[in-house]
């Protein structure tokens, strides 16, 4: 009825009725309309091209084919104000706000979109409204806002994916959306077409701001942030068919009070990869879901906000070459867990009861040699331990790895790992304070000997093996082992290197397995107390620190391990209040080809208040021209003699006792005595192992009351000096 071409016409108090086409059409025009009504039109009530810039107030549209203002697609290259006088705007083509241009929407404006259409911003959007009069972006079929714009009564209803969405690109940093609702977006083809689903809001290189925005009933993701540093506050995403939010690796958004309900996934999906600039994970109330492996590069800090939940899918891991700062409170810990864990962060993958977390749902946290500044405080790590899928034994991994890292772990709980809870290796000096590993499917902790953690209160509960597993090998540097609530166990033989000193604190328990030995080439200080002895024993010994290997019917026996060896050339060795249990075999219990002494001394050592219990062979062997001190030592159960020494040994012995051994005696090998010698069994009889010859000018002294037993056919030849002086009541006996 009325077409304006390049016109600035003024219409005031005009009615257009019963027309056979579009009632009013604008082409490159900037008219002023006030109090204009359209009642009855075969076409649209109002229509304009993108070049038109009308000024409108108090419009009405009824009984038209489109009861609104239809706007064609194109590029807006100058500032525009969208105030369509109280009627809805129908966007009938893709619209782009060009670089440098701005688009302002007035409060209460309803903008409806034809199928697959979008609004793209290379410039600025100013869409700020209020709680009582929000701005609405929605489907052309949505009669809830702006009425029955497509004039089909109940013939159509809006669906998710009726239109595409809003796109913010570089140049849109100043954009602001406040009290805005976005409905039924998410597809560039047709509703439900999975090949063409799109995010409702897409952000690339933009720092825009969204406050009090609702995204409702959309066909895909609510918000996709490819890059940029946008700010989101009080955002609600409900009934989106995909993720609530997708956050790209290079984006740095700020979230506050984000609500996600009834979506395909109520979470922030983080596009994993190499984090190359500092990053904060603070979902504003939503959990993060890492899409795959994430690597924090050297020199970069990843900060996890207090109380944040970070979830992983199968095989996913967080690799720290830079710094991870994850500090929270005891009441609201940070949690790294499985995507199936609904106990924190809610049912973020919207699986309801069909999906439950299990050990090995993801891999774990890995700290490498440039991650020393990392801190975990009040953190939980759940359901990790596999680089493939739960229970895949070819891909078992540690829940936390500290590799050449001196990170700090305080009030950290590792639970339900598919393998081991914690691994420490290389030149690592981490601080572990109040760390608990529970319900792991292997050892609680393992490490090599190079690691030197500082530990205060480490607990292991409900793991398959509640122990600290050392790899075995040679301890090359001095260390102190001080754990008293879980035992140390070993993956192989242990050697204290020549330059090292190992200090064992009172109450430490070391459990050994078949054939293993503990050899000291350097120095050993194992000084316990009467109430807290240091114990070397079998892995099957449940009487100290419980059933380490969860095999209650598997009792320890003599020969479960080889023994303790103080080798020739060793440094200072002191054992005080020490138990050595169930040793005596270098192979397996009862294997007579591999019998060994529970304690072998090949160099000087001081052994006090020590008990050797249930050896598969001898209790103690003293080998070579050495002068150890044995004071208050008990051999309680051994298959052979209690103690054996070579003829050239010169020990100092006091307070020896032997109970139920294969020979409750001190056995001395045969040969020639070439230097002065004292035979004093310190409470044990001496039994010679063969002929003994006392060389010329050599003094052999027999202690008062000593019994010396000589096997059949053997003899002692005196070429030197024998001093055997006792008393009538306590004679020396041969």
Determine how many CB atoms are found less than 10 A away from the CB of residue 663: 20
Q: Please answer whether residues 675 and 700 qualify as being in contact, where contact means their C-beta atoms are separated by less than 8 angstroms.
A: no
* Nearest one of 340, 329, 349, 325 to 382, comparing CA atoms: 340
d(CA 372, CA 175): 40
- DSSP label at 583? -
> Measured between alpha carbons, how far is residue 250 from residues 165, 242, 275, 281 in Å?
22, 21, 8, 13
Q: Please answer whether residues 158 and 138 qualify as being in contact, where contact means their C-beta atoms are separated by less than 8 angstroms.
A: yes
pLDDT in tens, 701-725: 999 999 999 999 999 999 999 999 9
Q: Where are the beta strands (DSSP E) in 284-363?
A: 288-290, 294-296, 301-304, 309-312, 317-320, 323-327, 334-338
Determine how many CB atoms are found less than 10 A away from the CB of residue 289: 27
- pLDDT attached to residue 550: 87
Specify the pairing of strand 523-527 against strand 301-304. Answer: unpaired
d(CA 450, CA 569): 23
What does the radius of gyration of the chain's CA atoms come to, in whole angstroms?
41
- pLDDT attached to residue 383: 99
CB within 8 Å of 154: residues ≥ 6 apart: none
* Nearest one of 693, 623, 617 to 661, comparing CA atoms: 617
Q: Dihedral angle at the C-alpha atoms of 97, 102, 107, 109, nearest 10 degrees?
A: -30
- pLDDT attached to residue 553: 86
Helix %, strand %, coil % of the chain (to 5): 0, 50, 50
- pLDDT attached to residue 354: 76
Q: Please answer whether residues 135 and 180 qualify as being in contact, where contact means their C-beta atoms are separated by less than 8 angstroms.
A: yes
d(CA 381, CA 401): 12
Structure tokens, 535: 């114990």
CB within 8 Å of 337: residues ≥ 6 apart: 309, 310, 311, 312, 344, 345, 357, 380, 381, 382, 383
CB within 8 Å of 74: residues ≥ 6 apart: 49, 50, 51, 93, 95, 96
Structure tokens, 380: 């939980």
Determine how many CB atoms are found less than 10 A away from the CB of residue 592: 11
CA-based end-to-end distance of the chain: 139
All residue ranges of the chain with pLDDT < 50 are none
d(CA 411, CA 564): 36
């Amino acid at each position: 009825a009325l077409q304006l071409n390049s016109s600035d016409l003024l219409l005031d108090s005009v009615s257009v009725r019963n027309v056979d086409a579009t009632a009013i059409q604008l082409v490159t025009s900037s008219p002023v309309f006030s109090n204009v009504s359209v009642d009855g039109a075969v076409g649209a009530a109002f229509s304009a091209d993108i070049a038109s810039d009308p000024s409108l107030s108090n419009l009405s549209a009824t009984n038209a084919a489109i009861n609104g203002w239809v706007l064609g697609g194109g590029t807006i290259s100058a500032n525009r104000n969208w105030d369509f006088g109280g009627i809805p705007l129908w966007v009938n083509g893709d619209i782009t706000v060009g670089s440098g241009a701005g688009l302002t929407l007035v409060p209460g404006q309803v903008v409806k979109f034809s199928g697959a259409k979008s609004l793209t911003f290379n410039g600025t959007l100013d869409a700020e409204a209020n709680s009582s009069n929000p701005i609405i972006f929605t489907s052309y079929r949505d009669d809830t806002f702006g009425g029955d714009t497509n004039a089909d009564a109940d013939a159509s209803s809006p669906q998710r994916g009726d239109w595409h969405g809003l796109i913010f690109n570089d140049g849109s940093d100043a954009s602001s959306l406040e009290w805005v609702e976005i409905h039924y977006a998410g597809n560039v083809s047709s509703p439900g077409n999975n090949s063409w689903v799109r995010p409702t809001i897409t952000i690339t290189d933009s720092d825009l701001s969204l406050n009090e925005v609702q995204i409702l009933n959309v066909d895909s993701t609510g918000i996709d942030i490819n890059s940029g540093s946008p700010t989101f506050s009080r955002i609600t995403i409900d009934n989106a068919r995909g993720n609530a939010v997708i956050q790209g690796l290079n984006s740095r958004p700020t979230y506050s009070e984000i609500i996600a309900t009834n979506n395909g996934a109520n979470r922030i999906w983080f596009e994993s990869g190499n984090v190359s600039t500092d990053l904060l994970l603070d979902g504003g109330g939503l959990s993060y879901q890492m899409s795959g492996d994430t690597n924090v590069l050297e020199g970069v800090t990843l900060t996890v906000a207090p109380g944040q939940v970070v979830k992983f899918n199968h095989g996913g891991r967080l690799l720290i070459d830079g710094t991870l700062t994850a500090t929270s409170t005891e009441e609201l810990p940070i949690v790294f867990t499985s995507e199936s864990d609904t106990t924190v962060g809610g049912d973020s993958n919207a699986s309801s009861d069909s999906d439950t977390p299990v050990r090995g749902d993801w891999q774990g946290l890995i700290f490498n040699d440039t991650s020393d500044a990392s801190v975990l405080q009040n953190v939980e790590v759940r359901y990790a331990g596999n680089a493939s899928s739960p229970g895949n034994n070819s891909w078992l991994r540690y829940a936390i790895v500290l590799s050449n890292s001196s990170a700090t772990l305080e009030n950290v709980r590792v639970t339900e790992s598919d393998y081991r809870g914690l691994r420490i290796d290389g030149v690592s000096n981490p601080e572990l304070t109040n760390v608990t590993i529970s319900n792991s499917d292997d050892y609680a902790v393992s490490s090599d000997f190079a690691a030197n953690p500082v530990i205060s209160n480490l607990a292991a509960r409900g793991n398959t093996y509640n122990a600290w597993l050392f790899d075995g090998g040679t301890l090359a540097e001095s260390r102190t082992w001080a754990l008293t609530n879980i035992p140390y166990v070993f993956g192989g033989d242990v050697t204290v290197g020549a330059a090292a000193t190992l200090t064992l604190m009172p109450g430490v328990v070391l459990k050994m397995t078949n054939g293993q030995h503990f050899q000291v080439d350097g120095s050993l200080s194992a000084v316990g107390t009467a109430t807290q002895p240091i114990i070397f024993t079998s892995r099957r010994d449940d009487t100290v620190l419980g059933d380490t290997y969860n095999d209650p019917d598997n009792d320890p026996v003599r020969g479960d391990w080889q023994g303790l060896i103080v080798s020739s050339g060793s440094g200072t060795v002191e054992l005080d209040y020490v138990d050595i249990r169930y040793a005596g075999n270098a192979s397996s219990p009862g294997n007579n080809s591999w019998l060994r002494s529970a304690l072998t001394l090949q160099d000087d050592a001081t052994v006090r208040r020590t008990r050797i219990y249930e050896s598969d062979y001898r209790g103690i062997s003293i080998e070579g021209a050495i002068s150890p001190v044995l004071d208050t030592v008990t051999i309680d159960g051994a298959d052979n003699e209690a103690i054996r020494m070579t003829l050239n040994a010169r020990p100092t012995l006091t307070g020896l006792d032997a109970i139920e051994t294969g020979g409750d005696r001190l056995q001395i090998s045969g040969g020639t005595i070439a230097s002065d010698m004292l035979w004093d069994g310190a409470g044990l009889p001496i039994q010679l192992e063969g002929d003994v010859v006392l060389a010329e000018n050599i003094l052999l002294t027999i202690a008062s009351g000593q019994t010396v037993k000589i096997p059949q056919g053997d003899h002692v030849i005196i070429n030197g000096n024998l001093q055997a002086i006792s008393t009538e009541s306590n004679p020396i006996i041969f």
